Amino acid sequence: MKAPITPTRHSAVTCLLTLATLNPLAAAIAQQSGSNETIDEVIVVGTAGGAGINKQDVSFAVSTLNPEQIERFAPKSTADLFKSIPGVWAESSGGVAGANIDVRGLPGGGDAPFVTLTINGAPIYGTESLSFFEQSSIFRIDETIASVEGLRGGPGAVFGKGEPGLTVNFNLKRGGEETEGRIKYTTSDYDLRRFDGVLSGKLAEDTYYMIGGYVQQSPGIRDAEFTSEKGEQFTINLTREFDRGVINVFTRVTDDHGQWYLPFSLNAGLDEGEFSQLGNATRQREIQINANGDTRVFDFARGRGWDGSVSGADIEFEFGDGWVLRDRLGLTTGDANTFGFVPAGSAIRASALSAQIAGPVTTQGGETLADDDFVQTYGHWVVLKEIRSFVNDLSLSKTFADQHDVTFGLYQSDFSVDDFWSLGNPVAVHNTANGDFLDPAITPDDIAAAGGDAGFGFGLAAVGDARTTAFYLADSWQVNDDWRVDLGIRWEEIEITYSADTSNDGEGFPDGTRDINTKIEDDQIAYTAGVNWDVNDNTGIFARYSKGFLFPSFDNVRENQLEVNDIDQYELGVKYGSERFDVFATAFFNTNDSFDSVVGGNATASAFETEAMGLEIDAVTEFGPVRVTLSGVVQDTEVTESTIASNVGNTVLRQPDFQFRLEPSYDFTVGEFNGTLYAAATFVDDRFGDLDNEVDLPSYEKYDLGLQLQAESGIFFQLHMDNVSDSDGITEGDPRNPASPNGRPILGRSLRLSIGYDFSAL
């Protein structure tokens, strides 16, 4: 596992030369097709107050997905879908929740510190991520989604939440004049049972509704011997139209969880696509929760998930003389808990442990292990996390002199967390699928003495509250028919109060003594400037600079890392759209300062600065029944400064120098059915699992295949095979112990079948 590689480097010259070739290529293809059409999608994300703009006119990098594209991607989690957005690296191998998501070489390292999710334009939480929490964990994809927008960089640093990295906006379906709906049942070769439904229509004059949701359960692709993935969700979206405006309100109630898939030993001959250490034997554990000796039995079948609600409103009214008032608000409340069975150090042979304890190695169930069996230290980690967030984005817009679209905005948020952690709780186990505890007389210290690891302990009881207020001003200046200049500036202040009780001497519970009680305040300015040139009806070119920032949050306060991270980004993009060919290509360069540390890790924490340059591609072409989509990124990242001198010049951890996804499809007709045969090929370059660049995560490929059939009567079928070749691509090493031969592969091959019915009232 400790095998440094020399990653392939791609220079800025290469990126810009590639970009320069795109416009002539697009023009040549357009000449073959003999047709010209502009891209006419309306984009909400990245616009002042969520005003919306035609995709062909944007001066920033954005990708979109419709329900048909989501269906063919067949994501196993929300983060899984983000792989379709160029420039985004999403490690969704952790299950239905708990992904690691990075964008454009910005060094996340864990969770998703540069990612914000919004519903109908309203952020679902006040800060990007916390320890054991990233926002995709509290959002589930179902049939209620109308479209998805993914904005990288650009004006995101100024508007709304002020996100300098990735903003993913989910637009919910709305009701219309006709009553229509869909029901769908899905099963799989891993015993998935899922029912989806959505219904929309008219309630009264100018009043419309949409309701939908799902219920599902399965043991998961990594079978834990019990129903490890289970949940349900219900959404209602109401719309009231007025002569000069509209009010839309929604609520989305979710109770859904799944096993938290973690790195495991890659040297023990395990099935890398389906292995689960957690099983019935290790599902429950009695754990001490305080210094008084009180204990509690926890059920680790709950894994990671979300039990709560996200509600919001989207209001827009036009007043006299061209003034437009917009308000987007969101309220999130619930529990985002984590129950994980986490490895500590390397697996070792039972023979080594037998020699250490001078006797046979047995399990609690009475099995005597063979010498060539493996044993390992694991720990039951408990994170109880209650969160609440209220955000409001109010804006007032007006067009002056038919040239200047000016927007004044006020963004406010209040968000909080109430944490209880019990981490570590090490125990010795048989390292096999669903392996049992070892005999209680055999301890993690015995495994450590034999060459493994004894584990650790850390406890926390903490509460934090934060309040932000931001003012922003934007001007979209239409200089003439071909040129537009976009300007924006944001001032934001934050106030954080935080109190924490941590453990003492490596115990896995808070010791009852307050260790931290603090309040911090700060303010920052972000700004952006963009230029858009409409070369002709088909082609546009844009350039943009943005300066954003990332305030510290609760976990940073606990670690006394109070610096504000600054992010500078430069972008140059080409947009082309015709009847048969669309391309969106963006070259980017960014600089960032950051801090790296891992809860429960033994790697040295460091402060460092990075830079990244790259080229994102998002293209599609159609020739008759054949459609081919290409998305991806080629990038070069570098640590430019670090408190660990040997890391300077290294590559940013986890993110590949290139990743691409190629999706061909073929439409056909058979009998009364319209069909589509589709496939996808994903190519991922080598990565490093740490900033020291000592843990090599090899390159890999993944292939998917599917078939869709839709009858005029409304009946439809979908058969989808994920990871056809059963690839064992490794997405992360062991962030807590980089030297150990542990890793987390992607999920193994699986097959899903859906059957459903689309209907409308006569």
Query: pLDDT tens digits for 706-721?
Result: 999 999 999 999 999 9
Query: Which residue, 127, 135, 166, 210, is CA-closest to 46?
Result: 166
Q: pLDDT band at residue 598, thresholds of 50, 70 and 90? A: low
pLDDT: which is higher, 355 or 598: 355
Query: pLDDT tens digits for 180-200?
Result: 999 999 999 999 999 999 999
Q: pLDDT band at residue 36, thresholds of 50, 70 and 90? A: very low
> Which pLDDT score, from 0 to 100, does residue 84 have?
96
In the 8-state DSSP scheme, what is residue 77?
S
Q: Which value, to the nearest 10 degrees, does the dihedral of the CA atoms of residues 347, 351, 356, 361 take?
A: 90
Quickly tell me which residue has 């600065």 as its tokens.
609
Query: pLDDT tens digits for 207-261?
Result: 999 999 999 999 999 999 999 999 999 999 999 999 999 999 999 999 999 999 9
Q: pLDDT band at residue 15, thresholds of 50, 70 and 90? A: very low
Phi, psi (rounded to 5 degrees) for 417: -145, 145
> Which pLDDT score, from 0 to 100, does residue 13 have?
34
Cα–Cα distance measured from residue 59 to residue 488, given in angstroms and rounded to the nearest whole number: 13
Quickly tell me which residue has 């989509």 as its tokens.
629
Please count the helices (runs of H) and the strands (runs of E) in the chain: 6, 42
Query: Which residue, 422, 185, 392, is CA-closest to 296?
Result: 422
Query: Which residue, 173, 194, 192, 175, is CA-closest to 184?
Result: 194
> Which pLDDT score, from 0 to 100, does residue 8 have?
36
Cα–Cα distance measured from residue 659 to residue 654, given in angstroms and rounded to the nearest whole number: 12
Residues 297, 302, 303, 304: is their CA dihedral positive or negative?
negative
The whole-number average pLDDT for the span 657-682 is: 97
Cα–Cα distance measured from residue 674 to residue 672, given in angstroms and rounded to the nearest whole number: 7
Cα–Cα distance measured from residue 570 to residue 279, given in angstroms and rounded to the nearest whole number: 49
| Residue 85 pLDDT greater than 60, yes or no | yes
In the 8-state DSSP scheme, what is residue 378?
E
Q: pLDDT band at residue 82, thresholds of 50, 70 and 90? A: very high
Alpha helix segments (H runs only) across 493-594? 554-558
In the 8-state DSSP scheme, what is residue 280?
G
Quickly tell me which residue has 């987007």 as its tokens.
328
Cα–Cα distance measured from residue 120 to residue 44, given in angstroms and rounded to the nearest whole number: 8
| Residue 32 pLDDT greater than 50, yes or no | no
> Which pLDDT score, from 0 to 100, does residue 39 have?
54
460 near 385, Cβ under 8 Å? no
Query: Which residue, 437, 643, 462, 468, is CA-closest to 550?
Result: 468
| Residue 47 pLDDT greater than 70, yes or no | yes
Separation of first and last alpha carbons in the chain: 63
Written as six digits, the tokens of 134 are 């990233």
Q: pLDDT band at residue 108, thresholds of 50, 70 and 90? A: confident
> Which pLDDT score, from 0 to 100, does residue 594 have?
81
635 near 104, Cβ under 8 Å? yes
Share of the chain above pLDDT 70, in %: 93
Q: What is the DSSP string of 678-691?
A: EEEEEEE--EESST
Phi, psi (rounded to 5 degrees) for 241: -100, 140
The whole-number average pLDDT for the span 165-180 is: 97
Cα–Cα distance measured from residue 1 to residue 697, given in angstroms and rounded to the nearest whole number: 8
pTM over 0.85: yes
Residues 134, 138, 142, 147: is their CA dihedral positive or negative?
negative
The whole-number average pLDDT for the span 570-585 is: 94
CATH code of the domain occupying 12-760:
2.40.170.20
343 near 370, Cβ under 8 Å? no
Give the strands of the sheet with 115-119, arranged side by side. 61-65, 145-152, 166-172, 115-119, 122-123
Q: pLDDT band at residue 5, thresholds of 50, 70 and 90? A: very low
Boundaries of every domain in the chain:
12-760
Q: What is the DSSP string of 152-183?
A: ESGGGGTSTT--SSEEEEEEEP---SS-EEEE
In the 8-state DSSP scheme, what is residue 419?
E
| Residue 513 pLDDT greater than 80, yes or no | yes
> Which pLDDT score, from 0 to 100, does residue 1 have?
34
Contacts of 494 (CB under 8 A, 6+ apart): 466, 467, 468, 521, 522, 523, 551
Query: Which residue, 39, 70, 341, is CA-closest to 184?
Result: 70
The whole-number average pLDDT for the span 488-501 is: 98
Quickly tell me which residue has 């008084």 as its tokens.
292
The whole-number average pLDDT for the span 577-581 is: 90
Residues 241, 409, 107, 659: is their CA dihedral positive or negative?
positive
29 near 580, Cβ under 8 Å? yes
Average predicted confidence (pLDDT) for the chain:
92
pLDDT: which is higher, 24 or 303: 303
- How buried is 666 (Cβ within 10 angstroms: 0-12 exposed, 13-18 middle, 19+ buried)? middle
Cα–Cα distance measured from residue 509 to residue 52, given in angstroms and rounded to the nearest whole number: 49
Written as six digits, the tokens of 694 are 């000592």
The whole-number average pLDDT for the span 391-400 is: 96
> Which pLDDT score, from 0 to 100, does residue 109 have?
78
> Which pLDDT score, from 0 to 100, does residue 54 have?
83
Side-chain-side CA neighbours of residue 372 (13 Å): 1
| Residue 23 pLDDT greater than 50, yes or no | no
